[in-house]
A and B are shown apart, each in its own frame.
Chain A
């Protein structure tokens, strides 16, 4: 399936865009997506942390991605 991934903060700089379309094999879990992305963009590996949000909630590594999910890269947050 094809998924679209939103990027914020430093991940936007690393990917060079505010979103990204990616073809992934199903089933695809959050864990698999992180491995794929870190392979394509090795600089993601250097971050303090990288969370994946699915439909505006932090996704566990085991969470299965579905077609049409809103997926976002969440590098270390720094509000306040």
Chain B
């Protein structure tokens, strides 16, 4: 049985698809994280976001994270999805789902995967404001 599902796409992400993928008979629960585009940054109104990825490497870094949490935590399976392109406020750039026999491992693995994704996966986010745009985190 496949235990890792990785998707990088410019189309809408499906939470249901991620949950269905990780559902398992050995699992006692599923933890999901759904990222959504926030309407402001430090009080400044955000109009939309644009995500750019170094696709081949992003996919391989996402897979490394999935492999690592399967190794480090008592979990059954994991789905990590990320979107690219233009996203409006409230849309979903990232979905992570983890199933495990017991909930603590699922929560811990899901949080670890999300923290890691933000550090290692080569995806960049540009925030568009009413008066311009910036690449997030580019400058100190």
In the complex, residue of chain B having the shortest beta-carbon distance to the beta carbon of A76: B137
Q: Which of B10-44 contact A (CB under 8 A)?
A: 35
A9 and B140 CA atoms in complex are apart in Å by 16
Can you list, as one digit per residue, whether each of B99-140 has a CB less than 8 Å from chain A (1) or not (0)?
000000000000000100111111111100000000111111
Can you list, as one digit per residue, whether each of B40-63 has a CB less than 8 Å from chain A (1) or not (0)?
000000000001111011101000
State the main secondary structure of chain B at its contact with A: mixed
The 6 closest A-B pairs by CB, nearest first: A9-B124, A79-B123, A78-B136, A10-B135, A78-B125, A56-B57
Q: Which of B75-119 contact A (CB under 8 A)?
A: 82, 93-94, 114, 117-119
Contact of A10 with B124 in the complex, beta carbons under 8 Å: yes
A72 and B126 CA atoms in complex are apart in Å by 19
In the complex, residue of chain B having the shortest beta-carbon distance to the beta carbon of A47: B138
A residues less than 8 Å from B60 (CB atoms):
56-57
B contact set with A: CB distance below 8 Å: 35, 51-54, 56-58, 60, 82, 93-94, 114, 117-126, 135-140
Q: Which of A16-66 contact B (CB under 8 A)?
A: 46-48, 53, 56-58
Contact of B54 with A53 in the complex, beta carbons under 8 Å: yes
Contact of B137 with A78 in the complex, beta carbons under 8 Å: yes
